[in-house]
Amino acid sequence: MCAVVKEKYIDPFTDFGFKWLFGNEKHKNILIKFLNDLIDDLKAPIIDIKYRNLEKLGLNILDRKAVFDIYCTDKNGDHFIVELQRSKQKYFKDRSVYYTSFPIQEQAQKGDWDYRLDKVYFVALLEFNMDEDENYIKKVSLHDEYTKEKFYDKLTYYYIETKKFKKTENELSSQLDYWLYILNHLVDLTDIPEFVKDDETIKEFFDTAEFLKLSKDEQFSYQQDLKARLDYINVMRYAKEEAEKEGLEKGLKEGLEKGMQKGMQKGLEEGLKEGEKQKAIAIAKNLLDVLDIETISLKTGLSIKEIEQLISKSI
């Protein structure tokens, strides 16, 4: 059974939606503009791109293969891998490096080759937070640890943590801000926002994202993908609620056990302390007739006042 689509625009964080909007040969201007607005060290703006084979094999038949979401090159020879990652992966950084090894390896040339490489960019749109800081975009490249200067400028990673992007419409200040706001709010919008209505490529993006403009087969594929996404969200939400519930119950149980242990320990300590006190009092009573008050205090640890009280009770 497919999900019922009520929104005007498709969800860009579904596999279908992401590839339809950014991996669509008919509308490659969308990806070109997005990359131009994101990447700040291009020697020249990207004018055209060529979508490449998304499946890359290893060096031999036994090697693992990599399947990219979107892989393309531009006329300058630069390589771009664009990925959507919805759930947190323990080794996602490793996977990023592994993926970039393929466009690097494929540049190898037979015969006399000087090892010159074209640039490789890895761009990841993430629906999870990689860490606890507030930075919603990370740009990673090779730097010298001592001088802090860039060591190599042909391998760059962009990680965009979309959940951290909290800017309101009035706070948007760049083309990249526009993109991230639109991606985060697309399914809730009913029309193109005023701040991008004059941008022809953004208008093309919204036109491409309209659910009713998809063919019946495309709508069916999207609905299946949307259902899978909603199922995943519900499963993760249930798992989180159960984990929180289990954690609360475990915390209460452990807290109660620790409280009882602490109470018993405190009671024992107070009991021992009281026992020592009674022992000191008994000794003091036996010394009242043979020693002065100050000496008895030194011997038993009782105060002068406590010993005077013992004397008054014995008279």
DSSP annotation of 188 reads G
State both tokens at 252. Answer: 């209460």
Spatial separation of the C-alpha atoms in residues 114 and 176, rounded to whole Å: 37
255 domain-assigned: no
191 domain-assigned: yes
Which pLDDT does position 260 carry in this prediction? 65
Which pLDDT does position 9 carry in this prediction? 96
How does pLDDT run across 187-198, given as a tens digit for each residue?
Answer: 999 999 999 999
CB atoms within 10 A of CB 76: 13
200 domain-assigned: yes
181 domain-assigned: yes
How does pLDDT run across 52-83, given as a tens digit for each residue?
Answer: 876 665 554 445 556 678 999 999 999 999 99
| Helix or strand (DSSP H, E) at 71 | strand 70-74
Spatial separation of the C-alpha atoms in residues 265 and 268, rounded to whole Å: 5
Spatial separation of the C-alpha atoms in residues 258 and 287, rounded to whole Å: 43
Q: What is the mean pLDDT of residues 122-151?
A: 94
DSSP annotation of 199 reads -
State both tokens at 302. Answer: 């009782």
Spatial separation of the C-alpha atoms in residues 227 and 220, rounded to whole Å: 11
Residue closest to 134 by CA, chosen among 159, 157, 165, 158: 165
Q: Where are the alpha helices (DSSP H) in 210-303?
A: 216-287, 293-300
Residue for token pair 């209505």: 197
What's at 78, amino acid-wise? D
Q: What is the mean pLDDT of residues 250-278?
A: 68
309 domain-assigned: no
> Which residues, 6+ apart, have CB-to-CB distance to 27 below 8 Å?
21, 204, 205, 208
67 domain-assigned: yes
What's at 304, amino acid-wise? I
Residue for token pair 């009281």: 274
Spatial separation of the C-alpha atoms in residues 177 and 171, rounded to whole Å: 9
Bigger pLDDT: 162 vs 61: 162
275 confidence band (pLDDT: 50, 70, 90): confident
257 domain-assigned: no
How deeply is 54 buried, as exposed, middle or buried, from its count of CB atoms within 10 A (0-12, 13-18, 19+)? Answer: middle
Which pLDDT does position 251 carry in this prediction? 64
State both tokens at 81. Answer: 């891998």
Residue closest to 282 by CA, chosen among 303, 302, 304: 302
Residue closest to 159 by CA, chosen among 74, 97, 72, 245: 97
219 domain-assigned: no
- Domains contained in the chain, number: 1
Residue 180 pLDDT greater than 90, yes or no = yes
Bigger pLDDT: 273 vs 138: 138
3-state secondary structure of 234: helix
State both tokens at 91. Answer: 């080794």
3-state secondary structure of 236: helix
Which pLDDT does position 268 carry in this prediction? 62
DSSP annotation of 92 reads H
Residue closest to 163 by CA, chosen among 92, 243, 87: 87
State both tokens at 75. Answer: 């006329």
How does pLDDT run across 3-33, given as a tens digit for each residue?
Answer: 667 899 999 999 999 999 999 999 999 999 9
In terms of residue numbers, what domain contains 70?
15-214
